[in-house]
Amino acid sequence: MTKITSKREEDYSKWYNDLVVKADLAEHSAVKGCMVIKPYGYAIWEKIQADLDKMFKDTGHVNAYFPLFIPKSFFSKEASHVEGFAKECAVVTHYRLKNAPDGSGIIVDETAKLEEELIVRPTSETIIWNTYKGWIQSYRDLPLLINQWANVVRWEMRTRLFLRTTEFLWQEGHTAHATREEAIVETEKMLHVYADFAENWMALPVIKGTKTANERFAGALDTYCIEALMQDGKALQAGTSHFLGQNFAKAFDVKFVNKEGSHEYVWATSWGVSTRLMGALIMAHSDDQGLVLPPKLAPFQVVIVPIYKGEEQLKQISEVAIKIKKALETKGIRVKYDDRDTQRPGWKFAEYEFKGVPIRIAIGGRDLENGTVEVARRDTKEKESLQQTQLETKIEHLLQQIQDNLYQKALAMREDKTSYVDTYTEFKEVLETKGGFIMAHWDGTAETEIKIKEETKATIRCIPLNNKQESGTCIYSGKPSFQRVVFARAY
Amino acid sequence: MTKITSKREEDYSKWYNDLVVKADLAEHSAVKGCMVIKPYGYAIWEKIQADLDKMFKDTGHVNAYFPLFIPKSFFSKEASHVEGFAKECAVVTHYRLKNAPDGSGIIVDETAKLEEELIVRPTSETIIWNTYKGWIQSYRDLPLLINQWANVVRWEMRTRLFLRTTEFLWQEGHTAHATREEAIVETEKMLHVYADFAENWMALPVIKGTKTANERFAGALDTYCIEALMQDGKALQAGTSHFLGQNFAKAFDVKFVNKEGSHEYVWATSWGVSTRLMGALIMAHSDDQGLVLPPKLAPFQVVIVPIYKGEEQLKQISEVAIKIKKALETKGIRVKYDDRDTQRPGWKFAEYEFKGVPIRIAIGGRDLENGTVEVARRDTKEKESLQQTQLETKIEHLLQQIQDNLYQKALAMREDKTSYVDTYTEFKEVLETKGGFIMAHWDGTAETEIKIKEETKATIRCIPLNNKQESGTCIYSGKPSFQRVVFARAY
């Protein structure tokens, strides 16, 4: 039977890793830093993809696909972008292998050296803006609202499944606009889409805000983000949306003729979420018994397990089970009926608990007589006996209740782990003992931000949108401040 | 207005390329051999993906994701696989760039050289079977029925959009079985899935068959394929399904304990289709007026264009149009209503004809009075006036008619271009004048096959499944033969 021996309270990091591997979500591959996303994990990612994709399309975006490789020289075109992205990356230098003369295997064919090295994309602004140059001539060609689902590579020395891997899957939106205002509206719109998804699909409360200059995306004028809190009190950036100004249009010379007939540089945004969301989802809700999945993203929302003696009884139970399955499916509920005879009911109970299936329905001999089923919730572990009649409506409500409960639980946890501090001593103490989000005054300088980071490993996660303005003094420098910002140690 | 000047009859290759670029399907990128798939092209690919994915899931498969990179040494483990795949490929040798000391840009950091080079996957058998080793212990772990949607890279010197590109998108199924028989059943099952998709979604008739030993996938014991014929008389391999025997299990030491308790090597299959299908789809049905899309794969199946004078009339027409759109959508029909005032109706007519939208509905002032609409088919270019009442049922039938008509037309073309020849002289003459599939006797030797290929550029596309057995003599060697095989020049 699958289970994990590490406890969440004792060793959060080991607990997380065990859970990811044993619940068939992902594992490390033979290639350093790259993961294999296993079928159950991939099924959750497919659900995330499908739901996000629908939200992108509902907001007017279309998908396209751009090359995996980027010529090295493209990175040098945007000054700050090169600093942020063109360093730790996979470099393709050759395009052929050949048999070793000594018969020992295959070796790189040195005659097949590329004139210009190709970089495996760490993000696609450069190749996409180089392409947009051919697509944009007039204001009639704008806005361009394009998204790409792709794999990207950033060479990482220390990796953790889903949270930080050399190769990861993501989506990257890249939009082009005629005006600054329209680009900013787009940047904020996508931030709200991400927050909506985090809160209403992942059941994960997030703070929406902007990054400090220091933490911005390389090449952006402004980076918006959603920040979530994990059960161990560490923050996790769950999505970012960047207002890129005219930086990439200038770097790749993308101009358009406006309605008045004059030439202007195009305004840009980019925004992305990645398989990192899988890490957030797992860490936010799970417990020592395994995964806990919010119903909206669970590959199976309901599993039905028969408890039977003999083939005849299984046949009778199966009839009821299949009828229930069909009734649930008409409500759009995703159901698995597990009638395998290779495993006992107890094993199945533990397995689906471990895999985080939101609702388990068990049907036994007595249920047949009474017209009942036993319904168990994964989140609260409560069980109740319900009549089979109109079960689909009850289950539908229950799924919504579980979804809401997970969100409320995560919100209560976050509120519990959010502290307001006014001195640096208190700041450090809270950080060591309780962790979580720390709301503190900051003097607005990069210098102070960097000092605090060096001394405590805490970073400014964001400056919340519509932040309350109040006068105070910076916890570090004592200089005047007009608002608190969100500090935390982060993944 | 978008149109192409090249004619299909005059320069098929140029016609194809113009069509792909101007219909917003794809274009060449700044990276040699790699394409950009543009939004309209990608929307068709998304539809192909979604429908195939459903077919894979309905036949019991699940998706997963394996690393982009494969250690070089993995390729040497399966003797014939290395010959086929580890030659023309993208090789990652370094993992860091740095600023050039002279300030001229960024250069490869020679200190960040990988101990073992990584190959960007040209296909994933090796990395996947290396992973399966950890997943398979007992017969209870079998079968493993896994598919992956991914990008792959094969370094190509001569590329054509969709048909042959250095990077392309595809799916690759990799299954593991306890017995030879079960693996063969799987290989054939997936061939039938591909044929079903080609014929009933793409409206593209295909011949199902097996490849000769010479044309097999590197590492396979048997390669099954579906072969289609394009309008220029050249063949196109549209999908392959491979029975891999125990080759990869032996190369990566993947054994399982069978029911009797003894250790056996696992049996394998792999199967794939790629963005090449886009090329087949475009080439199979389109004409000098542009794309022709089968309704099942068209991003929009119906476009509604208003023909109006003044805002008031547009308002009245829009009311009718939106009602029709909604009624069609309840039938699951994909509809676009184009009420843009920046373009004239004539421009829109040409645009949607060019983009291959199966049905155009035009609504003008007189239609308002008469309760009618004008319905135009893209395939036959026929127009008719229809009553607005129960239009959704008529359109639903019409879409099915168009789907059927495209298939029948393609089938008639293929039959017209299929020749039975009995001499090598006749063979060469048909090849030069008419092209198409040539059914001819072959002595079964690789030697003859290679000679014919060298002399005529024609290859054996496949040996059809359930092939008619008849005695004859090989067109080349004159030796006895018991069946005809399918020859053609191919993409």
Cα A96-A97-A103 angle, rounded to 5 deg: 160
In angstroms, rounded to a whole number, what is the distance separating the alpha carbons of residues B405 and A249? 47
Amino acid of residue A242: H
Q: Is residue A13 over pLDDT 60?
A: yes
Chain-wide mean pLDDT for chain A? Answer: 96
B67/A36 touch (CB, cutoff 8 Å), yes or no? yes
Residue with tokens 């089923």: A373
3-state SS class at B4: coil
Band of residue B101 on the pLDDT scale cut at 50, 70, 90: confident
Per the CB < 8 A criterion, the answer to whether A26 and A162 are in contact is yes
d(CA A156, nearest CA chain B) in Å: 10
The burial of B47, by beta-carbon neighbours within 10 Å (0-12 exposed, 13-18 middle, 19 or more buried), is given as middle
In angstroms, rounded to a whole number, what is the distance separating the alpha carbons of residues A182 and A121? 27
B36/A64 touch (CB, cutoff 8 Å), yes or no? yes
* For testing contact with chain B, the best of A21, A61, A75, A97 (most B CBs within 10 A): A97
Residue with tokens 């990257």: A172
In angstroms, rounded to a whole number, what is the distance separating the alpha carbons of residues B156 and B348? 38
Q: How far is CA A197 from CA A185, A279, A408, in A?
A: 18, 15, 15
* B 52-91 → A contacts, CB under 8 A: 62-76, 82, 86-91
The side-by-side arrangement of strands in the sheet containing B267-274 is: B62-63, B144-153, B167-177, B267-274, B235-245, B222-229, B207-210, B459-464, B484-488, B437-441, B418-420
Residues of chain A with pLDDT > 70, as a percent, come to 99
* pLDDT at B80 (0 to 100): 74
- Give the pairing of strands B144-153 and B62-63: parallel
* pLDDT at A115 (0 to 100): 95
Band of residue A103 on the pLDDT scale cut at 50, 70, 90: confident
Give the one of A38, A62, A140 whose C-beta lies nearest to B64's C-beta.
Answer: A38
Band of residue B339 on the pLDDT scale cut at 50, 70, 90: very high
Residue of chain B minimizing CA distance to A342: B140
The token pair at B172 is 């690759």
Residues 6+ apart with CB under 8 A from A278: A25, A26, A41, A44, A45, A48, A162
**pTM of the entire structure?**
0.96
Give the one of B70, B73, B97 whose C-beta lies nearest to A86's C-beta.
Answer: B97
The token pair at B340 is 């843009």
Band of residue A37 on the pLDDT scale cut at 50, 70, 90: very high
Q: What is the largest CA-CA distance in chain A?
A: 82
Q: How far is CA A191 from CA A125, A204, A264, in A?
A: 18, 15, 26
Q: Which of B267, B245, B240 is nearest to B79 (CA)?
A: B245
Q: How many helices (H) and strands (E) does chain B have?
A: 14, 26
Q: Which of A395, A152, A176, A402 is nearest to A269 (CA)?
A: A176
Residue of chain A minimizing CA distance to B43: A63
Mean pLDDT across A234-250: 97
A91/B95 touch (CB, cutoff 8 Å), yes or no? yes
- Give the pairing of strands B335-337 and B302-306: parallel
Residue with tokens 């990054």: A211
Q: Is residue A62 over pLDDT 80?
A: yes
Indicate the helix (H) or strand (E) that contains A228. strand A222-229
* A 309-368 → B contacts, CB under 8 A: 342
Mean pLDDT across A443-465: 98
B72/A97 touch (CB, cutoff 8 Å), yes or no? yes
* B 100-139 → A contacts, CB under 8 A: 105-106, 108, 117-120, 127, 130-131, 134
d(CA B53, nearest CA chain A) in Å: 11
* pLDDT at A266 (0 to 100): 98
Q: Which residues pair with B256 in a beta bridge?
A: B264
In angstroms, rounded to a whole number, what is the distance separating the alpha carbons of residues A135 and A143? 11
**Least confident segment among A75-89, A213-227, A305-319:** A75-89
Q: Is residue A101 over pLDDT 90?
A: no
DSSP 8-state assignment for residue A290? B
* pLDDT at B357 (0 to 100): 98
* For testing contact with chain A, the best of B45, B75, B76, B106 (most A CBs within 10 A): B106
Q: Which residues pair with B274 in a beta bridge?
A: B170
Mean pLDDT across B140-156: 96
How crowded is the C-beta side of B166, counted as CA atoms within 13 Å? Answer: 23
Per the CB < 8 A criterion, the answer to whether B308 and B364 are in contact is yes
Residue of chain A minimizing CA distance to B53: A46
pLDDT tens sequence across B119-136: 999 999 999 999 999 999
Residue with tokens 């899309």: B293
* pLDDT at A1 (0 to 100): 56
Residue of chain A minimizing CA distance to B110: A91
Residues of chain B with pLDDT > 70, as a percent, come to 99
* pLDDT at B1 (0 to 100): 56
* B 199-228 → A contacts, CB under 8 A: none
* pLDDT at A86 (0 to 100): 64
* pLDDT at B105 (0 to 100): 82
> Residue-wise over A271-283: b if at least 16 C-beta within 10 A, else e?
bbbbbbbbbbbbb
Q: Is residue A29 over pLDDT 60?
A: yes
DSSP 8-state assignment for residue A65? B
In angstroms, rounded to a whole number, what is the distance separating the alpha carbons of residues B101 and B96? 15
CB atoms within 10 A of CB A151: 19
Per the CB < 8 A criterion, the answer to whether A388 and A316 are in contact is no
Mean pLDDT across B246-268: 97
Mean pLDDT across B79-83: 73
* For testing contact with chain A, the best of B54, B97, B124 (most A CBs within 10 A): B97
Q: Which of B192, B255, B187, B186 is nearest to B217 (CA)?
A: B187
Band of residue B60 on the pLDDT scale cut at 50, 70, 90: very high
What distance lies between CA A240 and its chain's CA centroid? 10
Residues of A with Cβ-Cβ distance to B89 under 8 angstroms: 95-97
* pLDDT at B86 (0 to 100): 64
Residue A426, phi then psi, degrees to nearest 5: -60, -40
* pLDDT at B355 (0 to 100): 97
B94/A91 touch (CB, cutoff 8 Å), yes or no? yes
**Least confident segment among A180-184, B108-112, B128-132:** B108-112
Amino acid of residue A282: I
B300 interfaces chain A, CB cutoff of 8 Å: no
Q: Which of A435, A480, A476 is nearest to A453 (CA)?
A: A476
